[in-house]
Structures are given as C-alpha cells and as structure tokens.
Amino acid sequence: MAKQQQQQAPSGMAGLVRYFEEDESILKLNPEHVLGICVGLVVLEVMMMFLLPI
C-alpha cells in the first residue's frame, strides 16, 4: 500500500488578507432608514402623479 502524503498550505494564510480597520463613514444609516426613504419617495412620486398631471 502507498502512503498518503499530507499537503499543507504555505505559512502565509494561503493568500488570505484580513483587515481589522473599521470603515469610517460620515453618514451611517440603518436598513430601516433606507427602507423608509424609499417608501417616502414612492409615496411622493404617486402624490405628484395625481396632483400634477402633465
């Protein structure tokens, strides 16, 4: 029987890079805020379609 050879990845984390820096953003929005803005824009557009017919 042949022996199985074990292969190991190089000791550089196999090319994976991890960044521990936190993203510094000026404006931080929750998903609820984004959803509220989208719904508000849709409502505004529907209101304008009925109030300002072109």
At 42, list the tokens.
């849709």
Q: At 6, is the secondary structure helix, strand, or coil?
A: coil
Q: Looking at the domain assignment, is residue 34 inside a domain?
A: yes
Domain membership of residue 2 (yes or no) is: no
Asked if residue 54 belongs to a domain, the reply is yes
Q: How far apart are the first and last CA of the chain?
A: 84
8-53 pLDDT, tens digit per residue, is 555 555 566 666 666 677 888 899 999 999 999 999 999 999 998 7
- Domain of 40 in residue numbering reads as 28-54
The structure's pTM equals 0.51
pLDDT at 54: 72
Per the rule left: phi > 0, alpha: psi between -120 and 50, beta: everything else, 15 is left
For residue 20, is it within any domain?
A: no
Domain membership flag for residue 4? no
In a domain, residue 47? The reply is: yes
The count of structural domains within the chain is: 1
